[in-house]
Amino acid sequence: MTPTSQYRWIKRKSIKLLTSRGYQFVHPSDSFLSQYARLSFIGMRGDYEALCVKVNVSDLPFNEIRSIEGLCWKEIAQFNNLLTMYPGDMFLRCEVWIFAPYRELYCFEVAKDGIREAVYA
């Protein structure tokens, strides 16, 4: 798969996942949240609930990834900074989506207390 077709596939898959979870796709440049973290996608539900997504593409199959924290440390740090700016905001969620070979997708929620696998992925 060429990088261009891979990007298009990831974008289609991400938008489909956002809409299936009840979010409306918003381009990151259209949101003030992109000023604080480099986001791949933003999903909005209603007027206030935001899901900030950072996509990471892995060359390794998921079972060979030793540490999610090691693979996504930059994204986790950016999201922790964002969550620190808006403490206690229950309408702001941050996730890292990992696309692994064989078109596998894994979703992880970033919270102040760490990172955990999202249950709906």
Question: In the chain, how many domains are there?
Answer: 1
pTM: 0.79
Strand residues in the chain grouped as ranges (E): 24-26, 41-45, 49-57, 92-100, 104-111, 114-117
| pLDDT tier for residue 121 given thresholds of 50, 70 and 90 | very low
User: How are the residues of the chain apportioned to helix, strand and coil, as percentages rounded to the nearest 5?
Assistant: 35, 30, 30
Q: Average pLDDT of 66-88?
A: 79
Which DSSP category does 77 fall into? H
| CATH number of the domain encompassing residue 11 | 3.40.1350.10
- Look at 60 and 54; give whichever has higher pLDDT: 54
21 versus 32: the higher-pLDDT residue is: 21
pLDDT tens-digit map of 97-110: 888 877 778 888 88
Tell me the pLDDT of the chain averaged across its residues.
81
Domain residue limits at 99? 3-117
Region 35-51 average pLDDT? 84
